[in-house]
């Protein structure tokens, strides 16, 4: 089969789609674009820095980008350097794999105070994402609140709670590591609107909280049911029972309350307001008790306050609006029907279904959409100029894409920086630094050249 396909986004969803297309569509030319010079999306910038085993999947994705007919073009932003309409004119099919990069808002008074952050920004900060590298979050201590009971919330709590020695084997950036180590934290509050059975974190992630060197999980036994009870989806029972067992083990630990750092798991609490401290920033988080009705958390009039200097909201994400790809505003994703957004325009991953699942969840999803793309190409045939048209357009606009070999130079430089301080890598956190490696010039000179 011949044809020319452009995939916008080089995270797991986009690269699983590229792999499926390359395997089944022999003869296809597939361009994978990313607005950053670096590929791999949330594997690089979202997976916790102490989960190096999870990050190892990039080796598989690197093989995908190395396949014949597949090309990586980094530092090419859709909406910045090219439009979606440009791509649709150039390619037989376009796949959006742009994820859901915007934090969902809490919708409560005080959430715009200094010291209140979305998890996308906070995680991006400690993972060295260029969009958030200069966040410098307020961590005055002694308490932090993390709102949400998913794996992202657990990641944030764990990264904040671990000692520098525990984090040494990961790729936490040097600046973030220093800021976290200097923060005088004694209490981390993980807050969920629903109960233990409804929490969405996985047992493996939850269990890690019980293995930390200086931190211990604190659970009120009164918050835990005796058993899981009826479930709408009985296939989830083994996971829910394991989660409840872990929480009961945490609740039974006699010395948890005296640990140097305590990770409190609060259930049936909803955030109501962030009240100011003396400097106007976050000082108190007001919580309301909830109870479950028909699977929903219903807020009551019973409230209590937590003194916290930092609040991180980990309640989910939304896709970003892109001209030519309307959003389903209610769901926060690109409007689509089973991955088809418009004739010749498709969508995969979180931009398609919302921010759910783990990295491998994207594989079956992307394979299904790739099959739809192949069917589209079979019915409509090739007829667009593809990569040649994009190359001419970028050259005319003075845009120099970062190639796969360019990325490998950046990668090697980061690994060398990390080796010098005993870590797997030390990331470059600005695009000029990355491009300086590609072009073989000092970062400061590269930045001056980019401004001229």
Confirm whether residue 78 is marked as ligand binding. yes
φ and ψ at 361, to 5 degrees? -55, -30
- What is the rounded distance in angstroms from the CA atom of residue 452 to the CA atom of residue 439? 16
Q: Which two tokens stand for residue 103?
A: 């934090």
350 assigned binding-site residue: yes
Report whether 357 belongs to an annotated binding site.
Answer: yes
Question: Is 246 labelled as part of a ligand binding site?
Answer: no
194 in a labelled binding site: yes
149 a known binding residue?
yes
266 has binding-site annotation: no
Q: Check if the beta carbon of residue 399 is closer than 8 Å to that of residue 35.
A: no
Q: Are 10 and 40 in contact (CB under 8 A)?
A: yes
The answer to whether the annotation marks 368 as part of a ligand binding site is no
Binding residues for FAD: 13, 42, 78, 350, 357-359
Residues contributing to the annotated binding site for NADP(+)? 149-152, 193-194, 205, 357
Q: Which residues are annotated as a binding site?
A: 13, 42, 78, 149-152, 193-194, 205, 350, 357-359
């Amino acid at each position: 089969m011949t044809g020319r396909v452009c995939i916008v986004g080089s995270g797991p969803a986009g690269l699983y789609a590229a792999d499926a297309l390359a395997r089944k569509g022999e003869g296809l030319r597939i361009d994978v674009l990313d607005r950053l010079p670096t590929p791999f999306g949330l594997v690089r910038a979202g997976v916790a820095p102490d989960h190096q085993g999870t990050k190892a999947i990039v080796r598989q994705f690197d093989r995908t980008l190395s396949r014949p007919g597949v090309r990586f073009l980094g530092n090419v932003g859709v909406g910045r350097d090219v439009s979606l309409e440009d791509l649709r004119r150039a390619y037989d099919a376009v796949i959006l794999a742009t994820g859901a990069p915007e934090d969902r808002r809490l919708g409560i008074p005080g959430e715009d105070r200094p010291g209140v952050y979305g998890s996308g920004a906070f995680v991006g900060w400690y993972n060295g994402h260029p969009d958030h590298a200069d966040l410098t979050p307020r961590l005055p201590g002694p308490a932090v609140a993390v709102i949400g009971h998913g794996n992202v919330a657990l990641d944030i709590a764990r990264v904040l709670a671990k000692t520098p020695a525990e984090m040494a084997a990961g790729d936490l950036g040097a600046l973030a590591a220093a800021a976290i180590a200097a923060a005088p934290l004694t209490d981390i509050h993980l807050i969920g609107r629903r109960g233990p059975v409804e929490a969405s974190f996985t047992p493996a992630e939850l269990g890690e909280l019980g293995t930390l060197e200086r931190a211990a999980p604190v659970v009120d036994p009164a918050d835990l049911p005796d058993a899981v009870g009826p479930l709408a989806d009985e296939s989830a029972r083994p996971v829910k029972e394991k989660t409840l067992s872990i929480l009961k083990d945490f609740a039974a630990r006699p010395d948890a309350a005296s640990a140097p750092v305590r990770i409190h798991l609060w259930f049936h609490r909803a955030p109501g307001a962030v009240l100011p401290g003396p400097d106007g920033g976050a000082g108190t988080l007001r919580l309301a008790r909830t109870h479950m009705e028909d699977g929903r958390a219903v807020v009551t009039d019973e409230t209590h306050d937590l003194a916290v200097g930092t609040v991180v909201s980990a309640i989910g994400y939304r896709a970003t609006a892109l001209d030519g790809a309307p959003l389903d505003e209610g769901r926060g994703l690109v409007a689509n029907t089973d991955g088809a957004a418009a004739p010749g325009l498709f969508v995969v991953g979180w931009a398609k279904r919302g921010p759910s699942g783990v990295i491998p969840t994207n594989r079956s999803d992307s394979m299904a959409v790739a099959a739809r793309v192949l069917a589209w190409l079979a019915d409509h045939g090739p007829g667009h100029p593809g990569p040649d048209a994009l190359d001419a357009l970028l050259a005319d606009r003075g845009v120099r894409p970062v190639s796969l070999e360019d990325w490998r130079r950046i990668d090697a430089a980061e690994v060398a920086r990390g080796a010098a301080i005993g870590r797997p890598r030390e990331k470059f956190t600005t695009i000029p630094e990355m491009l300086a490696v590609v072009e073989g010039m000092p970062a400061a000179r590269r930045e001056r050249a980019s401004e001229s």
